[in-house]
């Protein structure tokens, strides 16, 4: 039996153990792994999560018992100090000697601390191990106890530095990121994307200082500031150094292995060092004259070393290493792949930038326009996986390459095609080197039907998790090729889609949620299926949210919107945005009486914030007395029908948009649907009501109204599509009635009309056929159902205020009339707002 | 008073010193929650009618430290009864207090018993 000694039990050292344990040949080896940290290997990529949960266990890659179960001897808290190549032995810090046949160096790297005067002062930290983090947390507590506005700087604006910036902000210190280069993440971003990222981070509260060389750390014993020279300095109480890494290569040096000029142990494509019995993998290895500070190449190196040792000699390290990365940095997507930026003679770039939205996308294409060379995405990296795959697999670019980043225009559809178009050899999960073929086989040949099962079988998605959306697509498409439909069941309690449940409730005449669960579901329900069922009951019986209050989403249960501090906001209906001075005064009076923060909403209404639970019925009662009713601002239901002023006052107006908006808002008020929906009516093509970004919109033109449907503002904006042209008002309403009913009956839960229309086979043409030409023969039913909604509308506020049992729900405590004494407000521009979240 | 997580510690049925009479069972919504006050504590009490069981836990969501859990929807996941916070849908086991969809701190849970149609919550102080 031969002995393999692994020096270093970080992520890559662990991966080596895991990979060799999985081989049959591992029986022929005795494996000993040394780690100098006090614990077994953990996930350093997600280290900053430790600040959130302080749970070292959650970061574990495997429990200590795993090593024993796999016949691997794990020695922690022990440093290997020497290698004796002649005798093939190593010695450790406690002077023990071990003999090896193969030695694997996975000693990783240490943070690079630049030789700045004063860097040894108290309060200067590095960001590498759980112990480093614990020390930082302890020091931050000390600062906060001593002064209220403590500041911390991070030296280095790379990936890790920005994460550290967020971490110190979460500790309650004012964060300052100091970067030597003139841009953030200098290796991954160009200067324009750096600008966009900087703006976004500054908005969150992270201060960024670029192009600053730190000369000296100020302070007597403990750090008090950083000196940048020429009278430029920054006062800080703590400093986290995150200025890059240096390979931990001292073992290689002392036993005379071949080394790089600037460090790192030289390896060949078998991961062998200059001594064929010694391998080096991960961040200590210098391959192709480079140190690779990413986990995916480290894992590949582990795989190569394992194969070489078991004499599977044809597995070699890839000659080109992909340094693409995607991450969610402080809630902001940042991705960079291939060649992120390059000189103009190498290729052409297509750049999209929108600073108001914090978006930047750039792709670099070859001079002949045929291949993708790389790119950068900040603010939205949803398309990263597919772009990255196109790059890795040299997939030819479409004719309109700009559509890859700005989306297609006109008729729906995506510029990408599907993940299924990739070759089988395309690596989908680069952390675990899982190919598209392996994912699909796992579904088609091995019968795994969910992402969870595929992940278990192939390990795809278990590294950084960035490939999850693509794996989900592949699983879905593979199931389709088997003729299996991918069930869009609502949750574990119902094996049905919303549409199927809708039909079941209607046909069986099911009256309440418990009955539904008993007859066609299982278990006891959850926060996903309950509101979906509530929406179905509302759509079929037009019942208000008051009847089955505990299956309603929190907002519907209390007929108001829960806000940051657990208080509520109240929005009465102001149909079409038209409001009389008398009504305005009434709103003002009531808001003043209950000390509510008021704001005009984006949808032409007035929002009143800060009402405590027990005050809601009192406020509604007064509003009702003034002629107001609920605006259903909390519901998945009609919000507003926005209007411009129209032909009554406007010199351009073609028709009366206000009257029409009021009519239509009152028509659809209270109707429950799969998601909220909004309307707009513009009196002329200047479109001041922005009707085309609404779920339905009317625009007055010469000769009638144009009807648009399926628009959306919000996070994924989409212009509405033309359903009918130059129709009269009655016809316009009829078409929208049918469109809305068809949507309500068939859309999945929480799907806006835009997304629903996008997925509708045949799109707008099909929709026209259904609602105008009655191709399905269902318009009579749609018309009747809508009219039934309109006829049976009830104001839920009124119902709640007037029904003692319902009104009783609005107390904070069952056993006391006291209000919640936890709520605190602070003042803002002469109004109030909730105190900051801790 | 500002909420303090350390106010809340799980109480096992065996360690109950005080059975606090919280109110008539009928006042609590079916398959939903309501809040009671005990000394300086706010406790969410859930009448899980479908299971025929009652649960109690702190009303304080450990995510953003707001007193809202009693207003959350209850349900079950892999046979584990749970409540979903109305603010951000973090879910907690009503049996163990464990955060089921993330890595937040567990919430404190308390034993509940029903006697003569009254709800009693068990405390150790």
Separation of alpha carbons A663 and A681, rounded Å = 11
Q: How far apart are CA B66 and CA B87, in angstroms?
A: 9
Query: What do you get for the CA distance between the two ends of chain A, in Å?
Result: 58
Per-residue pLDDT at A341 exceeds 90: no
Q: Which helix (H) or strand (E) holds A405?
A: helix A403-406
pLDDT at A808 over 80: yes
Residue of B nearest to A815 (CA): B36
Beta-bridge partners for A83: A90
Does the structure show a pLDDT above 80 at A58? no
d(CA A63, CA A60): 7
Shortest distance, CA B85 to any CA of chain A (angstroms): 9
Based on C-alpha coordinates, what's the Rg of chain B? 13
Q: What span, in angstroms and rounded, lies between the C-alpha atoms of A98 and A100?
A: 7
pLDDT digits (tens, 9 = 90+) for A652-695: 889 999 999 999 999 999 999 999 999 999 999 999 999 999 99
Supply the pLDDT for residue A133: 87
> CA B34 to CA A813: how far, in whole Å?
7
Chain B closest CA to A819's CA: distance in Å?
10
Pairing mode, if any, of strands A825-828 and A831-834?
antiparallel
Nearest to residue A705, comparing CAs of A725, A721, A691? Answer: A725
- Reported confidence tier of residue A414, pLDDT bands at 50, 70, 90: very low
A54 touches chain B (CB under 8 A): no
Angstrom distance (rounded) from CA A93 to CA A109: 19
- DSSP labels for chain B? ----GGG-----GGG--EEEEEEEGGGSPTTEEEEEEETTEEEEEEEETTTTEEEEEESEETTTTEE-GGGSEEEEETTEEEEE-TTT--EEETTT--BSSS-PPPPPEE-EEEETTEEEEEE--
- In this complex, do B103 and A524 lie within 8 Å of one another by their Cβ atoms? no
Hey, what are A442's tokens?
């796992």
Q: What is the pLDDT of residue A756?
A: 92
Q: Which of B4, B55, B73, B121 to mutate to test the interface with A (most CBs of A within 10 A)?
A: B73
The mean per-residue pLDDT over the stretch A93-105 comes to 93
ipTM of the complex: 0.94
How many helices (H) and strands (E) are present in chain A, helices listed first?
Answer: 27, 38
Q: Which residue of A has its CA nearest to B52?
A: A524
Distance between CA atoms of residues A388 and A369, nearest Å: 17
- Interchain contact, B42 vs A527, CB within 8 Å: no
| pLDDT for position A612 | 94
Residue with token string 């792949």: A337
Query: Using CB atoms and an 8 Å cut-off, which of residues 464-493 of chain A contact chain B?
Result: 492-493
DSSP string, A709-777: E--B-SSS-B--EEEEEEE-HHHHHHHHHHHHHHHHHHPPTT--HHHHHHHSTTHHHHHHHHHTS-TTS
Q: Are the beta carbons of A475 and A420 closer than 8 angstroms?
A: no
**Among A271-285, A651-665, A672-686, A809-823, whose mean pLDDT is lowest?**
A809-823
Supply A710's token pair: 């399926």
List, in sequence order, every residue forming a beta bridge with A244; answer none if it has no partner: none
Please, which residues have CB within 8 angstroms of residue A345's CB and are 6 or more apart in sequence? none
Mean pLDDT of chain B, nearest integer: 92
Q: How far is CA A486 from CA A59, A386, A413, in A?
A: 33, 22, 21
Q: Which residue matches tokens 């960001």?
A: A127
Alpha-carbon span A556 to A637, nearest angstrom: 10
Nearest to A818 among B3, B37, B104 (CB): B37
Please say whether the dihedral angle defined by the alpha carbons of residues A568, A564, A200 and A335, taken in this order, is positive or negative.
negative
Determine whether the interchain pair B23/A553 forms a contact, defined as Cβ–Cβ distance below 8 Å.
Answer: no
Task: Give the number of other CB atoms < 10 A from CB of residue A584.
Answer: 12
Per DSSP, the three-state class of A248 is coil
**What span, in angstroms and rounded, lies between the C-alpha atoms of A620 and A560?**
10
Average pLDDT over residues B24-53: 94
pLDDT single digits (tens) A220-270: 989 999 999 888 899 999 999 998 889 999 999 999 999 998 899 999 999
Which residue did the predictor score with more confidence, A558 or A64?
Answer: A558
Interface test with A, best of B5, B66, B69, B121 (most A CBs within 10 A): B66
Residue % of chain A over a pLDDT of 90:
57
Q: Is the pLDDT of residue A412 over 70?
A: no
pLDDT at A411 over 50: no
Q: Output the pLDDT for position B102.
A: 77
Confidence of residue B3 (pLDDT cuts 50, 70, 90): low
Q: Are A53 and B67 within 8 A, CB to CB?
A: no
For residue A3, name the pLDDT band (cuts at 50, 70, 90). very high
A464 pLDDT more than 80: no
Q: Give the mean pLDDT of B7-30.
A: 94
Query: How many Cβ pairs within 8 Å bridge chains A and B?
Result: 113
Confidence band for A759, pLDDT divided at 50, 70 and 90:
confident
Strands A29-34 and A72-75: parallel
**Alpha carbon separation from A341 to A188, A334, A346 (Å, rounded):** 8, 15, 10
Alpha-carbon B79 to chain mean position: 18
Q: What is the pLDDT confidence band of residue B87, given thresholds at 50, 70 and 90?
A: very high
Please tell me what DSSP assigns to residue A781: H
Distance of CA A695 to the CA centre of its chain: 25
Q: Does A815 touch chain B (CB under 8 A)?
A: yes
CB contact under 8 A, A523 and B36: no
Distance from CA of A524 to the nearest CA of B (A): 6
Q: A84-88, A412-416, B65-69: which has the minimum mean pLDDT?
A: A412-416
Of the listed ranges A308-322, A512-526, B36-50, the one predicted with least confidence:
A308-322
Backbone angles phi, psi at A683, to 5 degrees: -80, -10
Burial class (CB in 10 A: 0-12, 13-18, 19+), A645: middle
Query: Quick check: B3 and A820 CB within 8 A?
Result: no
Per DSSP, the three-state class of A292 is coil
Q: Measured between beta carbons, which residues in chain A are less than 8 angstroms from residue B74?
A: 550
Nearest residue to A64 (alpha-carbon basis) of A94, A26, A22, A35: A35
- A459: region left, alpha or beta (phi > 0 left; psi from -120 to 50 alpha): left
Rounded distance between C-alpha atoms, residue A315 and residue A301, angstroms: 10
Question: Which of A814, A817, A821, A825 to mutate to test binding with chain B, by most B CBs within 10 Å of its CB?
Answer: A814
Distance separating alpha carbons of residues A827 and A236, to the nearest angstrom: 29
Residue B76 scores a pLDDT above 80: yes
- A636-649: per-residue pLDDT in tens? 999 999 999 999 99
Q: Are B107 and B8 in contact (CB under 8 A)?
A: yes
Contact B73 A517 (CB under 8 A): no
- C-alpha of A229 from chain center: 40
Provide the shortest C-alpha distance from residue B28 to chain A (in Å): 8
Three-class SS state of A609: strand
Burial of A216 (0-12, 13-18, 19+ CB in 10 A): middle
**Alpha carbon of B42: minimum distance to chain A alpha carbons (Å):** 8
Q: What angle do CA A307, A309, A311 make, to 5 degrees?
A: 70
Which of A149-153, A299-303, A343-347, B77-81 has the least mean pLDDT? A343-347
Q: What is the DSSP string of A507-546?
A: HHT--SHHHHHHHH--TT--TTHHHHHHHHHHHHH---TT
Q: Which residue of B has its CA nearest to A821?
A: B1
Decide if B27 and A814 are in contact by the 8 Å CB cutoff. Answer: yes
A530:B77 CB<8 A: no
CA distance A196 to A217: 30
Average pLDDT, chain A: 89
pLDDT in tens, A468-500: 778 888 888 888 888 776 667 888 899 888 889
How far is residue A774's CA from residue A523's CA, in Å, rounded to a whole number? 40
Tokens of A610: 């800060």
Cβ atoms within 10 A of the Cβ of A370, count? 11
Does the distance separating the beta carbons of A820 and B31 come in below 8 Å? no
Element of type H or E holding A277: none
Q: Is A809 on the interface with B (CB under 8 A)?
A: yes
Chain B nearest-CA residue for A551: B73
B→A contacts (Cβ < 8 Å), by residue, are 1-3, 22-23, 27-32, 34-37, 42, 45, 48, 50-51, 60, 64-68, 71-79, 81-82, 84, 86-87, 89, 91, 103-105
The pLDDT, as a whole number, for residue A407 is 66
β-partners of residue A561 are A569
B50 pLDDT higher than 70: yes
Confidence at residue A413, expressed as pLDDT on a 0 to 100 scale: 41
What was the pLDDT predicted at A535? Answer: 93
Q: Please name the member of A493, A524, A527 whose beta carbon is closest to the beta carbon of B84.
A: A527
Mind giving me the DSSP string for A50-116? HHHH--HHHHBSS-HHHHHHTTEEEE-S--EEEEETTTTEEEETT--EEE-SEEEE---EEE-----
3-class SS of residue A480: helix
Mean pLDDT of A336-350: 84
């Amino acid at each position: 039996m031969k002995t393999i000694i692994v020096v270093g039990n970080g992520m890559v050292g662990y991966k080596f153990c895991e990979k060799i344990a999985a081989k049959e040949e591992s029986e022929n080896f005795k494996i000993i792994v040394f780690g100098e940290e006090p614990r077994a290997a953990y996930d350093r990529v997600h280290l900053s999560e430790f600040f959130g949960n302080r749970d070292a266990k959650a970061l574990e890659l495997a429990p200590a018992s795993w090593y024993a179960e796999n016949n691997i001897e794990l020695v922690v808290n022990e440093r290997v100090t020497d290698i004796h190549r002649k005798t093939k032995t190593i010695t450790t810090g406690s002077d023990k000697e071990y003999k090896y046949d193969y030695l694997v160096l996975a000693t990783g790297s240490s943070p690079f601390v630049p030789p700045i005067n004063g860097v040894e002062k108290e309060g200067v930290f590095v960001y590498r191990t759980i112990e480093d983090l614990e020390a930082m947390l302890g020091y931050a507590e000390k600062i906060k106890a001593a002064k209220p506005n403590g500041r911390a700087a991070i030296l280095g604006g790379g990936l890790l530095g920005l994460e550290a910036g967020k971490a110190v902000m979460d500790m309650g210190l004012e964060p300052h990121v100091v970067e030597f280069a003139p841009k953030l993440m200098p290796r991954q971003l160009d200067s324009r994307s750096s600008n966009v990222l900087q703006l976004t981070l500054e908005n969150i509260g992270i201060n960024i200082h670029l192009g600053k060389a730190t000369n000296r750390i100020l302070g007597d014993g403990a750090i008090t500031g950083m000196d940048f020279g020429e009278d430029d300095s920054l006062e800080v109480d703590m400093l986290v150094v995150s200025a890059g890494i240096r390979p931990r290569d001292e073992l290689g040096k002392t036993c005379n292995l071949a080394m790089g000029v600037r460090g790192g142990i030289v390896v060949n494509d078998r991961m062998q060092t200059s001594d064929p019995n010694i391998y080096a993998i991960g961040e200590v290895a210098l391959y192709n004259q480079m140190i690779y500070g990413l986990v995916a190449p480290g894992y590949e190196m582990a795989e190569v070393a394992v194969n070489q040792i078991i004499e599977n000699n044809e597995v070699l390290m890839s000659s080109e290493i992909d340094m693409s990365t995607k991450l969610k940095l402080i809630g902001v997507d940042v991705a960079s792949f291939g060649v992120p930026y390059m000189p103009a003679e190498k290729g052409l770039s297509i750049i999209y930038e929108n600073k108001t939205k914090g978006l930047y996308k750039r792709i670099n294409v070859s001079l002949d326009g045929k291949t993708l060379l790389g790119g950068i995405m900040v603010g939205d990296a949803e398309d990263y996986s597919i772009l990255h795959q196109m790059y890795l697999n040299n997939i030819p670019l479409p004719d309109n390459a700009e559509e890859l980043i700005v989306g297609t225009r006109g008729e729906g559809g995506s510029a990408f095609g599907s993940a299924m178009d990739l070759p089988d050899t395309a690596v989908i999960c680069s952390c675990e080197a899982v190919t598209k073929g392996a994912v699909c086989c796992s579904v088609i040949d091995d019968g795994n039907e969910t992402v969870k099962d595929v992940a278990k079988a192939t390990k795809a998605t278990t590294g950084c998790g960035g490939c999850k959306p693509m794996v989900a697509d592949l699983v879905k498409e593979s199931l389709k090729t088997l003729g299996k439909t991918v069930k869009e069941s609502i949750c574990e309690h119902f094996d049905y889609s919303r549409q199927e449940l809708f039909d079941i409730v209607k046909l069986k005449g099911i009256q309440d949620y418990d009955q539904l669960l008993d007859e066609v579901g299982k278990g006891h329900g959850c926060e996903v299926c309950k509101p979906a069922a509530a929406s179905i009951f509302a759509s079929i019986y037009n019942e208000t949210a008051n009847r089955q209050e505990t299956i309603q989403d929190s907002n519907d249960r209390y007929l108001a919107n829960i806000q940051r501090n657990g208080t509520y906001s109240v929005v009465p209906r102001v149909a079409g945005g038209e409001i009389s001075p008398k009504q305005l005064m009434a709103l003002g009076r009531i808001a003043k009486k209950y000390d509510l923060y008021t704001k005009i909403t984006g949808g032409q209404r007035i929002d009143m914030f800060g009402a405590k639970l027990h005050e809601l019925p009192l406020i509604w009662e007064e509003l009702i007395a003034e002629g107001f009713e609920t605006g259903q601002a909390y519901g998945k239901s009609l919000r507003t029908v926005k209007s411009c002023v129209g032909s009554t006052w406007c010199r351009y107006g073609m028709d009366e948009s206000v009257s029409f908006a009021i009519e239509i808002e009152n028509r659809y008020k209270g109707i429950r649907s799969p998601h909220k929906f909004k309307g707009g009516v513009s009196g002329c093509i200047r479109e001041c009501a922005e009707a085309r970004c609404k779920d339905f919109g009317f625009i007055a033109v010469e000769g009638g109204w144009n009807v648009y449907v399926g628009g959306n503002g919000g996070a994924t904006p989409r212009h509405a599509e033309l359903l009918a042209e130059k129709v009269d008002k009655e016809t316009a309403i009829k078409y929208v009635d049918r469109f809305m009913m068809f949507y309500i009956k068939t859309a999945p839960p929480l799907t806006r009309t835009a997304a629903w229309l996008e997925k509708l086979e045949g799109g707008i043409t099909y929709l026209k056929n259904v609602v105008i030409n009655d191709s399905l023969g269902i318009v009579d039913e749609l018309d009747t159902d809508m009219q039934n909604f309109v006829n049976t509308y009830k104001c839920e506020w009124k119902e709640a205020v007037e029904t003692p049992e319902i009104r009783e729900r609005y107390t904070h405590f069952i056993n006391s009339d006291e209000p919640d004494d936890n709520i605190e407000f602070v003042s803002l521009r002469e109004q109030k707002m909730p105190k900051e979240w801790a | 008073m500002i909420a303090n997580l350390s106010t809340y510690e799980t109480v096992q049925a065996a360690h109950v010193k005080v059975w606090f009479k919280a109110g008539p069972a009928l006042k609590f919504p079916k398959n939903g929650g309501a809040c009671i006050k005990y000394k300086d504590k706010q406790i969410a009490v859930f009448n899980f009618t479908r299971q025929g069981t009652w649960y109690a836990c702190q009303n304080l969501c450990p995510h953003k430290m707001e007193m809202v859990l009693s207003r959350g929807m209850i349900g079950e996941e892999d046979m584990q009864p749970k409540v979903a916070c109305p603010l951000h849908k973090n879910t907690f086991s009503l049996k163990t207090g464990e955060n089921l969809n993330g890595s937040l701190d567990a919430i404190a849970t308390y034993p509940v018993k029903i006697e003569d149609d009254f709800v009693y919550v068990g405390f150790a102080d």
